Amino acid sequence: MSLSKFIGILFLLGQAVGCSSAQNSIPKKESKKPNILFIAIDDLRPELGSYGSEIARSPNLDKLASEGLQFNRAYCQQAICGPSRASVLTGLRPETSGIFHNYLKIRELHPDIVTLPQHFKNNGYESVYYGKIFHHGDLDDSLSWSRVPGPQPKSVVGFALPENQQLREETRKEMFSKYGDVAKYGLAMGPAYESAKVPDNTYADGYNTDLAIADIKKMAKKSDQPFFLGLGFHKPHLNWVAPKKYWDLYDESKIPMASDSTPPKDGAAMGLHPSFELRVRSGIPKTGKLPPELARTLKHAYLACISYVDAQIGRAIQALEEAGIRDNTIIIVWSDHGWHLGDMGIWGKATNYEIATRVPLMIWTPDMPDSNRGVQTEALVELIDMYPTLCELAGIEKPVHLEGQSFAPLLKHPEQDWKTAVFSQFPSPALREWGSYPLRPAMRETYFGPLLEEVELKIKAQQKEKWDRNLFENKIMGYAMRTDQYRFIVWKDRTLTQASPLYFELYDHKKDSGETVNIASSNPQLVARLMAQFKKEKEQHSLN
C-alpha cells in the first residue's frame, strides 16, 4: 500500500474517532472537561525574561512560567508561519502534509483532515478564535470553529501615524509602477516599525484581546460546555508596531545586539537568505549590512512588540480569574518559530538553525503537581506534540493520524528521559521568497535581483559541479535533527529518496551553542553515526 493511501485511511479513521467521540464524550456536569486557552504568538523567539533574556520586559509570561512548566528546548517543524501552523493544527509534519510554503491551504491538500480545534469541537467544546491561529487563507475554516469573529472595524489599523500610512501608500504605488503585479507579493509593506501614543486596541492584538475577554465572560456562564479559545497575536511579526508606552520600557542605548553577526564557518551557502522579509520594508537598505543605529532601533521595536503582546496575555489570564474559571482552564503559550535579529548576519526566520527553530513553549494546568510549578524542563519537544498533549490532558481520545508525542507525562516528571531527537526542515532558504515560496521569475527583475546573484555565487563556489538552478531552487530540502548535543542538517534532493545528501552541517552545542562553526567535514565518523540515527528516526516520522 502506498504511503499516501495509508495516510488517507488514517485521516478517515481520525474523522470516525472524532465523530464517535463527539457522540460519546459530551461533557457531563459532574466531570466537566477543562477549558483550553490556546495562545499563539507570531515570530517570537525565546526572548523573554523567563528564558534568560537580559533585556526583555515580559512580566506576565514570566509569571505564567513561574506557575507552570516551561520547555527550554521546544522546536517548530518549519520556521515559517504557514507550514509551522499547519503542522501544529493538523498534527502532521510538513513532509507528510506537503505544506512547505505560505501559499498552500490545508483543506485544498487535505480536505478531510481533523484539525486540533475541530477535534475539540467534535468532542463537545465550543471552539472559537481571535487573531491569528491558522495562517492566512485557513483562518476561518468552517470545520474547525463553532463560529468565527466578524470583520475588524476601521479603527483598527496597521499604522496609526498618518505619515506612515501615507508612506505605505506611496511605496505601494511606486512598486506597482516599477514592477507590475509581482509587487502584490509583498514588495510594498510600509515602514518596518512604528511608535505611536495610542491605546492598545488601536492595533489588532489589543483589539482581539478585548474580543477574547468579552467572549471569556460569556462562555464562563455556560456551565454545561467547555471552550477551546484560540488567541493569536500577530506581533512581534513585522511590521513592528506597538503603542509608545511599550517602547518606553527600554533604554535603546542599553539593548544588547547579536553576539555573532557572521554566517557559520563552512555552513551551507544555501542555508541563509539575504533578509528578504525585512528588506521589503520602507527605509531598509535593499543590499548590504544594516547601519548599526538602524539595527539597534529594529531590535528595540521587536522588544516593544514583545512587551505589548505580554500585556495582552496578562489581560486574558486576568479575565479567566475574574470569571472564576482559571482553576478549570489549561493555558498553553507557544510561538510558531524563532527569528534572527542580526544573528548569523541576517534578519528574519526561515532557516534550519537554532535561532529560527527554537521557540518559547509553556503550559499551566489546574492539576499539575505543586512541586513542579515553576519548573523548567530540558526535554526535547516539538510543536507537533501539542495536539496529542491537549487531547490527553482533556481526556479526549487522540485521532490516529497524529505524528507528535504527548508530553503530558512531563508535567508530573519533567526531569525524565524523553525524545532523543527532534526535527525541523526548510527548503533552500537562500533561493526562496520570504514566504518560503519558490522564486517567481519576475522577482529577479526587482531589487531582489542583485541579492539573488550574490547568494547564487556563494552556492556555486561551495557546491561546484553539483550546482543546478532548478535543483537548488525547487528540490533541495534541509532536514535538521536536534539531539541533546548536536544540530545535524542534511541537505538533499527531496524528490529522490535514495539520493546521497549534497551537504552536511554539524554543530556541537556543548562547545558551540551559537552554531558558529560547521564541524561536519572534520568528523566523518560522527556524521555517519548521526546519519544512521537520522535514517532510523525518519522511518518513524515519515521524513523523506
User: Cell 509581482 appears where?
Assistant: 182
Q: Which of 81, 119, 237, 305 is catalytic?
A: 81
Neighbours of 119 (CB within 10 A): 30
Exposure on the CB side of residue 17, measured as CA atoms within 13 A:
20
Is 135 designated active site? yes
Specify the pairing of strand 227-233 against strand 35-41.
parallel
What kind and span of H or E run contains 127?
A: strand 126-131
Distance CA 530, CA 73 (A): 19
Length of the chain: 544
Closest CA to 38 of 121, 146, 160, 127: 127
Residue 163 contacts by C-beta under 8 Å, 6 or more apart in sequence?
A: none
Q: Which three cell numbers stand for residue 469?
A: 538552478
Q: Which of 101, 110, 119, 135 is catalytic?
A: 135
Which amino acid is residue 38, in one-letter code? F
Distance CA 257, CA 339 (A): 13
Instruction: Tell me the three state secondary structure of residue 480.
Output: strand
**Beta-bridge partners for 39:** 231, 333
Residue 376 contacts by C-beta under 8 Å, 6 or more apart in sequence?
A: 50, 65, 69, 70, 71, 72, 414
Closest CA to 440 of 171, 236, 187, 232: 187
Is 19 designated active site? no
Whether 366 contacts 388, CB under 8 Å: no
Straight-line distance from the first to the last Cα atom of the chain, in angstroms, rounded to the nearest whole number: 17
Whether 429 contacts 273, CB under 8 Å: yes
Whether 18 contacts 398, CB under 8 Å: no
Residues catalogued as catalytic: 81, 135
